[in-house]
Structure formats: structure tokens, C-alpha cells
Amino acid sequence: MTVKPVNPVDPTALRHVLDGRWAAVRDDVREQMGAIRLHPDPDLSTEEHRDRVADGMRQLAESGRPHSGFDPAYGGGGDVGGVVTAFQMLGYGDLSLLVKAGVQWGLFGGAVQVLGTSRHHDEYLRAIMDGDLPGCFAMTETGHGSDVQSLGTTATYDPAAQEFVVHTPDPSARKDYIGNAARDGRMAVVFAQLIPGGRSHGVHGLLVPIRSESGEALPGVTITDCGRKAGLNGVDNGRLTFDQVRVPREALLNRYADVAPDGTYSSSIENDTRRFFTMLGTLVRGRISVAGGAGSATQKALAIAIRYGETRRQFSDPATGDEVVVLDYLAHQRKLLPALATTYALHFAQEELVSAMHDVQAFGATPDEDAQRALETKAAGVKAVGTWHATATIQACREACGGAGYLAENLLPQLKADTDVFTTFEGDNTVLLQLVAKGLLSEYGAKVKALGTLGMARFVADQVVGAVAERTGARALLERGDLRDRAHQRRLLVDREEHLLASLARRLRTALAPGADRFGIFNAAQDHLLRAARAHVDRVVFDAFAAAVERTPDAGVRALLAQVCDLHALSVIEIERAWFVEHGRLTAAGSRAVTAAVNELCAALRPHARTLVDGFGIPEGWLASPLLGNDPTEASAPAEAALA
């Protein structure tokens, strides 16, 4: 395979493509905050770091930027996608600030906005936007984790007093890891089993005050500090328990369900399970924000490692006697460039995700249940794959910088520590991929059911022909193509996705039989289920990148992005080449050709590596470190001066 050379590209032109729909927001953040030193100082104590992040929160509130994601009727800007993009940019700096801001304005404020009604909006939204009412999102419990439907906290209605009694019945129902709880939060959206009239109607959210304005825990509320963590120590994570805490009936966030003064329960959604998932689906913004923050941190780590790799020299070239920069070695390119290509792919997938969220959740828009469900599935998949990619890539960047990458002053250790938890908060990644697979199976079942008699016959025939072609090796011969052909790359990814989903559906069909051990059948197929979900997300991310290449107007930028897209696609195929060979999609020779193609693309993109990381548009002050030869104390201004 011959890789066509690409002429040099202006990083600014590349940045214009990457900045996408909310380019103006990104530019505003760079201009407003680019001079602030946002790096977390590893020498700060927990309390000092919390003080610093709290000060950053005040500055964000004063800037007015958090207001942009709220309802214009209450002084907001109505730009949900813009505010998520802006907070995503904070991932280039102190991730504690990103997370604490996400808790305040994304989770706490977002829950009040989308689960509440005018009675909550009128009383609380302005104070939340201005940062005058610090809040918490109290969902996770010690004993239930991702199983939100089984939360143990109760909210029992007392019709005589017209109050809900919020209670923690046992230690497993303690609210755990709650951001803003340990120090700053004064109110929490508490998710509890709603029990009016002696019957539970499932999990609902209520507004529960937890602290006085002077900072004291309110009667019946016990608050403890989670203590020092591996990272994100600027966020005051705490634990909450409630001992018969009473709140007025109006504290129930009642967009989807309400309780009348006499205790009568009513809801616009009759089915308890559907209501539960509808309520949780409206809170998808937090999951999308985590994916975006992970992407920013990954881009920053790659910018540091690749810039260092272009200057760090090691071992001599026998032909010239000159020491070689480490990024000229194939092994080093292999460590960083495929990861860079996938980071680009995930960036464009994230852009599509934010756009979809913005359109689906636009203020005043008519709710579209199908679009909301599709958004939730995509958000779960991109968050899972993106945060796992961040963890692996930041580690690779640390190793690529050797001992220098292990020094706190060079930023990579803090990025490792701060992003590690992203794989398990806002949804454990393994559970999220199971949710993706569940959605795919439901959609697959509906399509098969709609085929009719003739369609079903053709479907079964196609399955038989495909199985024969796979066993005989004919499929690999039939599906041969140019590895640099995007249609062929997509065909391979789609084929893997469809095969895994169809075979998973066949395995799980036995669970529908009377008396079947449904848990046992499902449990035995979990590995298959996760692979099917991952294959789907891989195809979705590829499609987002391919679409971005096609819509890029600048020919030079488009040519460069096309090669990066090829490297991403072939890297995914290479990682999964055992599956492609085992299932007859690639011959052994074809598998070797994929590896050769990845090597050639790494060499072709090596001259553009610096351009590709500069295209992220990360302000220099947020990259300042001795590793890159710039003094962080001179490269950026203090936060107070920058925003004065």
C-alpha cells in the first residue's frame, strides 16, 4: 500500500474544523480564561485545593457563562450545547473545577431545570445559576451503586402535615461520593423511593436542604467527608444520611409525577419503569459532559507527549551519528499516533452527541421520546469508550515521556489521577455498555418482528448463506477491498457489529422460553453482549469521523483528516483482527496487511504530528511545564488578575 503524502497544513485551519458548531464559545473561553493558570498544584492540601476550586466557581458564576445553559425565561441563554462545550474546555485545566462546575450547574441545576416545574424554577433557578445556592446531586448509595432503581432512601408522604419524610433506613442506603456535599452544598436533589399512601411508586427526586447558610448541617442530616482521593481533591465529595428529615410536599420535583395534598399520586407516565427511565434520560447532560472532559484531558496529554517526543533525543543514527528524536522511532509513533487518531474520532463523535443533545433538549421543543432514547444510548456508548480511551492514552503519554512524565510539575500524573474515576462515575462503563446492548437488542427485535413472512424467510436464508460463507472462508474472499477505501473500512466495521448483534440475539432467545433461567442465560452471554455494544460504538465513532472529513471544505485539511481517519479505522480493525480472522472476514494475509498499513500511516503522519495536536487549540498557559521548556509561573497569569 502506498500512502500519498499530504502537504503541510495550517494548525489554525485545522482548529476551525475541530471547533465545530460552537466555535465561538470555544474562542470566548480561550480569550477569557486562556491566561489563567488552571493547573492543580499537587502540593496543595485538600482544603487549599477546595478553596482554590471554590474561588474558580465564583469566577465562573461571575462570568455569566453557566447561565447560558438555562431557560431564557429565568435569565439563561438557552444554549445547552454551548454550555456543555464551555465546561468541556475546562478539561484542559483543573479537572476538579470541571467536575464541581458540572455538579453545580449540570447535575444539581440541571435536575431542578428538567425535573422541576415553575414552582421550583421561580424559587431556585436564579440562585443556582448565580452560584448563590450551592447544591448536590444525591443519587449514588453505598450499597446500590449503578442499580438506581433499587435505591434504599425513602420519601414517605405524611398527608396530615403535607410533608415528605426523607429517611436512610440502613447503612447501605447512605448517599455516597456526593460532590459538593462535604463542605459547600446547602441543598441536595435527593433521589428516593417515593411512598405516598403506603405504596412505593419508584425513584423520584426531591429538593432537601442539608446545611444552613452558616454551614451547619441541618437537624436530621448527617454529613461526613469522603476524605482524600486519588485525584479530583478540589471537589468536596461527601456522604449524606437522613433521619426522618421533613420537607414540604412542594419539594417533590414534579414534572413527571406529583402527589396531591391528600396523598394521591398521579403521573403523565403510567408505567413505573418507563417513568423512571424517562426521568433519568433527561439528566443525560452529565454523562455527555464527562465524555467531553475526558476528551479534553486526552488531547492535553497527547499535546504534551507529542511535543516532547519531537525534542527528546535518544540513541544515534549509525548513518549520521546524530541522536534521533524519539518520535521518529516507529515504536514511539505506534504508542501515540493511533491514539491521536482515535482521539480525533472521539472528538467528532462528541460534537455530534452535543449537537443531538442540544436539539433534543432545546427549550420549548416538543419532547421526542425516540430521539431522547437514541441520545441516551449514544451518550452511554461514547462516554464508556471515550473514558476508557482517556485512561489508556494518558498512561501511554506518561510512558512516552519517560521519567519526566512521572514528575508532577509536568502535568501528566495529575491528568492520570483526575480522569481515572471517569470510567466509573456518571455510570460504570461496563454497565453503560450493557445498556447500549439492551437498546440495540430491542431495536433489532422490533425490526425482525416487522419483516413479515416473506421478509423473515429472506432473513433466515441470508443468515444461513452467511454462516456457510464464514465456515468455508469464502466471505473473506468476497469482501476483499482496498484497506484505504473508506467504504471497505466501514463494511468491515458494520459486518462485525451486525454479526455480533445477530448472534447475541440468537443466544438470548432461549431466555424467552417458559421456565428458562433468564439470569443464567444472560450472565453466560455477558462477554458477547459487551463485545456487541463495543462494536456498535466503534462504528458510530467511525461514522462521525468520516462525516467530518466529507464536510471539511479546505482541501488540505480534508486530505490530512482523511489519513487520520484511515489510521483510526485500521487501528480499530487491527485491535480486533483476531475476530475478523476467526469469523472469516480477513485472511491471515489480510490481517498482516492491516498491520503494515497502520505502520505506513504512522510514518506518513509523523511530519504532521505537531500540527495535529496544535489543532486542538489548547492555550499555551494550560500546557506550560518544564517538560516543554516553558516556565509555568511565567506562562500564565493568576486567576484573580485574569478575570478582574
Distances 301 to 18, 401, 418, 629 between C-alpha atoms, Å: 17, 10, 12, 16
For residue 370, being part of any structural domain is answered with no
Report residue 261: phi and psi, to 5°.
Answer: -55, -35
pTM (2 d.p.): 0.91
For 514, the domain range is 429-607
- Write the pLDDT tens digit of every residue in 194-205: 999 999 999 999
CA 424 – CA 380 distance, rounded (Å):
12
Contacts of 203 (CB under 8 A, 6+ apart): 148, 149, 151, 191, 192, 193, 194, 276, 279
Output the pLDDT for position 116: 96
**Is pLDDT of 367 > 50?**
yes
Q: How many CB atoms lie within 10 A of CB 366?
A: 5
Alpha helices, DSSP H only, in 450-485?
A: 452-472, 474-478
Per-residue pLDDT averaged across 580-598, rounded?
94
Per the DSSP assignment, residues forming a β-bridge with 303 are: none
Contacts of 186 (CB under 8 A, 6+ apart): 133, 134, 135, 209, 210, 211, 212, 213
**Is pLDDT of 461 > 70?**
no
For residue 91, being part of any structural domain is answered with no
Task: Select the more confidently predicted residue: 55 or 369.
Answer: 55
Which residue shows C-alpha cell 440495540?
440
The cell for 288 is 455527555
**Is pLDDT of 152 > 70?**
yes
**Is pLDDT of 640 > 90?**
no
**Total domain count, the chain:** 1
3-state secondary structure (DSSP) of residue 120: helix
**Is pLDDT of 45 > 60?**
yes
Q: How many CB atoms lie within 10 A of CB 611?
A: 18
Output the pLDDT for position 312: 80
Per-residue pLDDT averaged across 182-192, rounded?
97
Per-residue pLDDT averaged across 411-430, rounded?
94
Q: Work out the pLDDT band at 146, boundaries 50, 70, 90.
A: confident
Per-residue pLDDT averaged across 268-291, rounded?
86
**Is pLDDT of 137 > 70?**
yes
* Amino acid letter, 272: D
For residue 282, being part of any structural domain is answered with no
Q: Which of 2-16, 266-280, 556-570, 619-633 has the highest mean pLDDT?
A: 556-570
Output the pLDDT for position 639: 41
**Is pLDDT of 518 > 90?**
no
* Amino acid letter, 520: G
Per-residue pLDDT averaged across 164-169, rounded?
98
Output the pLDDT for position 473: 58
CA 294 – CA 389 distance, rounded (Å):
9
Per-residue pLDDT averaged across 93-108, rounded?
94
Per-residue pLDDT averaged across 267-274, rounded?
86
Q: Give the CA-trace dihedral at 122, 125, 131, 134, to 10 degrees.
A: 100
Output the pLDDT for position 185: 97
**Is pLDDT of 459 > 60?**
no
**Is pLDDT of 140 > 60?**
yes
**Is pLDDT of 288 > 90?**
yes
* Amino acid letter, 469: A
- Write the pLDDT tens digit of every residue in 565-588: 999 999 999 999 999 999 999 999
Per-residue pLDDT averaged across 269-274, rounded?
84
**Is pLDDT of 241 > 50?**
yes
CA 31 – CA 23 distance, rounded (Å):
12
Q: Work out the pLDDT band at 465, boundaries 50, 70, 90.
A: very low
Q: Work out the pLDDT band at 447, boundaries 50, 70, 90.
A: confident
CATH of the domain at 455: 1.20.140.10
* Amino acid letter, 309: G
Which residue shows C-alpha cell 509513533?
333
For residue 76, being part of any structural domain is answered with no
Task: Select the more confidently predicted residue: 314 or 242.
Answer: 242
**Is pLDDT of 1 > 80?**
no
Output the pLDDT for position 453: 52
- Write the pLDDT tens digit of every residue in 535-573: 999 999 999 999 999 999 999 999 999 999 999 999 999
Q: Work out the pLDDT band at 36, boundaries 50, 70, 90.
A: low
The cell for 228 is 482524600
CA 352 – CA 480 distance, rounded (Å):
31
- Of 75-79, 247-251, 540-544, the poorest mean pLDDT is in 75-79
For residue 1, being part of any structural domain is answered with no
**Is pLDDT of 452 > 60?**
no
Output the pLDDT for position 643: 35
For residue 222, being part of any structural domain is answered with no
For residue 122, being part of any structural domain is answered with no
- Counting residues of the chain whose pLDDT is more than 70, the rounded percentage is 91
Contacts of 412 (CB under 8 A, 6+ apart): 301, 304, 305, 394, 397, 398, 401, 405, 406
Output the pLDDT for position 636: 43
The cell for 515 is 421456565
Task: Select the more confidently predicted residue: 277 or 630.
Answer: 277
**Is pLDDT of 483 > 60?**
yes
DSSP state of 122: I
- Of 158-167, 505-514, 523-532, the poorest mean pLDDT is in 505-514
Output the pLDDT for position 174: 97
**Is pLDDT of 35 > 60?**
yes
**Is pLDDT of 132 > 60?**
yes
Output the pLDDT for position 560: 98
CA 304 – CA 625 distance, rounded (Å):
9
Report residue 236: phi and psi, to 5°.
Answer: -90, 80
Task: Select the more confidently predicted residue: 387 or 460.
Answer: 387
- Of 135-144, 485-494, 614-623, 627-636, the poorest mean pLDDT is in 627-636
For residue 200, being part of any structural domain is answered with no
- Counting residues of the chain whose pLDDT is more than 90, the rounded percentage is 71
Per-residue pLDDT averaged across 17-25, rounded?
96
CA 27 – CA 25 distance, rounded (Å):
5
Mean pLDDT computed over every residue of the chain: 89
Q: Work out the pLDDT band at 297, boundaries 50, 70, 90.
A: very high
- Of 64-78, 80-94, 371-385, 469-483, the poorest mean pLDDT is in 469-483
Nearest to 185 by CA among 244, 124, 132: 132
Per-residue pLDDT averaged across 467-492, rounded?
72
Per-residue pLDDT averaged across 275-286, rounded?
83
